[in-house]
Amino acid sequence: MDPHSITLALAPIPTSAKSAPLLEAHLGMIVGACAVAIAEAIEQFQNGGLTTATRGQNGKCISELFRLRQYMIVDWPDFDAVAKERGVEALCACDVPPATANMLVDSVLEILGKMVCDQTH
HEC-encoded secondary structure of the chain? CCHHHCCCCCCCCCCCCCCCHHHHHHHHHHHHHHHHHHHHHHHHHHCCCCCHHHHHHHHHHHHHHHHHHHHHCCCCCCHHHHHHHHHHHHHHCCCCCHHHHHHHHHHHHHHHHHHHHHHHC
pLDDT at 28 over 90: yes
pLDDT at 32 over 90: yes
Q: b/e map of 57-89 (b: 16 or more CB within 10 Å)?
A: bbeebbeebbebbeebeeebeebeebbbbbbbb
The pLDDT assigned to 10 comes to 53
More confident residue, 77 or 6: 77
Least confident of 13-22, 77-86, 92-101: 13-22
The pLDDT assigned to 48 comes to 85
Cβ 38 vs Cβ 109: under 8 Å? no
The pLDDT assigned to 15 comes to 44
Global pTM reads 0.80
* Selection from 4, 22, 7 nearest residue 90 by Cα: 7
